[in-house]
Amino acid sequence: MRITAFAKRNIKELLRDPLSYVFCLGFPVMMLLLMTVINKSIPPQANMTVFRIDNLCAGITVFGLTFLMLFAAMLTSKDRTSSFLTRLYASPMTAVDFIAGYYLPLLILAVVQAVITFGVSLVIAAIEGVSLSIGGILLAIVTLIPSMVMFIGFGLFFGCKFSDKAAPGLCSAIISAAAILGGIWMDIDAMGGTLAKICKVLPFYHSVNAARLAVDGNIGEAGTSMLIVLAYTVAVAVLSVVAFRHNMNKDN
């Protein structure tokens, strides 16, 4: 009951903020359209497929998820700095109520966001005459669930530890890192070198890679990437829970 009530409150807070639509839906969809237009301008001789919709859709979906991290951080930090959480800390709500109440609505929004981004990708693929399998897309959404939890965890951690002014800035750094080092806009495998090594140590490349492989129907090759993402997800989720519990128990 308490988890449901708190989750409902959080989903309303997010859905009633117009910026949620701009960043979580508008921006990814706009990037899909923009990159499709750019892709059309690239001559076939360049043999550059990173902006082709079947490659692009997984990366843009991960890019969209990074903005949910931003909103998770803003929601938590605002609740903390406005004393709303202080009121709730003095209520019968437990740590589990709080953590589930924050995670669940954000996870639902993440899935909806992924469905919409992939849905728009399907339409673009149909227009462009590119083959995109619905089964592959559904599988990609499933492979992205750990990434969704990870980005929400990052957001909650920053929201717990930093002010509503500092947390969005830190999230922007992660958004940039995910975009550059995740291989959304460039082919990391073709690049090689130190940058490629750094990319492969971080989870962002693996989130995109696993989803891309699922879209392509090669989920069997995604095992390593999924394991790396899963390890990061567990670490970040634990970190966010520890940070929240610490906030609850410290002197408010």
Partner 1 sequence: MEAIVIKNLTKKYGSFTAVDKLDLTIGKGELFGLLGVNGAGKTTTIKMLSCLTKPTDGDAVLLGNSIREKPAEVKKIISISTQETAVAPNLTVRENLEFIAQIYGISDPSAAADKVIADFSLQEKENARTKTLSGGWQRKVSIAMALITNPQILFLDEPTLGLDVLARRELWGVIEKLKTKMTIILTTHYLEEAEALCDRIAIMTQGKLRAMGTAEELKQLAGKDNFEDAFVEIAERAGKGEL
Query: Which amino acid, residue 84?
Result: F
What is the closest distance, in whole angstroms, from the C-beta atom of residue 15 to partner 1 in the complex?
8
x-or-dash string of contact with partner 1, 51-80, rule CB under 8 A: ---------------------------x--
What is the closest distance, in whole angstroms, from the C-beta atom of residue 241 to partner 1 in the complex?
20
Tokens of 160: 């717990």
Quick check: helix, strand or coil at residue 70? helix
**Contacts (CB under 8 A) with partner 1, residues 15-44:** 16-17
Interface segment toward partner 1; rule CB under 8 A; list 58-66, 81-89, 110-118, 153-161: 81-89
Could you tell me the CA-to-CA distances from 13 to 3, 76, 105, 107, 174 in Å, in that order? 15, 11, 10, 15, 23
Closest to partner 1 by CB, 2 vs 245, is 2
Closest to partner 1 by CB, 49 vs 82, is 82
Of 149, 131, 143, 141, the residue nearest 55 (C-alpha): 131
CA distance 216 to 210: 10
Number of residues near partner 1 (by CB under 8 A) = 26
Candidates 13, 128, 164, 216: give the one binding partner 1 (CB under 8 A).
Answer: 13
> What would the DSSP string read from start to end of 189-213?
HHH-HHHHHHHHHSHHHHHHHHHHH
Residues that bind partner 1 (CB under 8 A): 1-2, 4-6, 8-9, 12-13, 16-17, 78, 82-84, 86-93, 97, 251-252
